[in-house]
Amino acid sequence: MDVRQAGHEIWAQACQRTRCLLGDAGPAAELMENSVAQVSRYLDRIGAAESSAARHGLLMVAFCRGLQRHAAKLSRLELVGGSGELAIRAIDDGSIRRLNTYLDLEIIVQRLSDTSSAVLVLRAAGFEWKEVAEHFGTSVATVRNRFWREIHKIRK
């Protein structure tokens, strides 16, 4: 007897167990398919004899273990809701605003000259304008004005 045939014979029981554990029999088909493949490989590997009871038992055990793993995986996931709830959540915590700011910054940094990129890196590292100006051997006003002019030019 084929393992697939055993799968057909225990299908109703497998669906019932899936419904009891998950509240929905939807995942049963994929779980059964994976279990049939797993048991078939195992029986081929050990060269098992034709015993329908053993196939049914092995298949049900493999199915139940797969079902338990699937249920555990689902319990780790936190479902937040539909697209409406997600949109409200994104707006509430400001993540869209942060994402847009990050994208704008990335575009600006890519278009900056080498000097202005260096100024940005130094300022981000905590250097004062005076220290940045000393690094470039110029005045604070010159370094700051060049940097901000370039930023404004890129933003337009």
Query: pLDDT tens digit string along 37-95?
Result: 998 888 888 887 666 667 888 888 999 999 999 988 888 766 666 666 666 655 555 67
Task: Determine the pLDDT at residue 93.
Answer: 59
State residue 133's pLDDT score.
93
Give the contacts of 4 (CB within 8 A, at least 6 positions apart).
36
Q: What is the mean pLDDT of residues 129-155?
A: 91
Quick one: CA torsion of 11, 13, 15, 17, rounded to 10 degrees? Answer: -150
- Helix, strand, coil in percent for the chain, rounding step 5: 80, 0, 20
Where along the chain do its domains lie?
3-76, 84-155
**Would you identify the CATH topology of the domain 84-155?**
Arc Repressor Mutant, subunit A (1.10.10)
- At residue 35, the 3 state secondary structure works out as helix
pLDDT of residue 72: 87
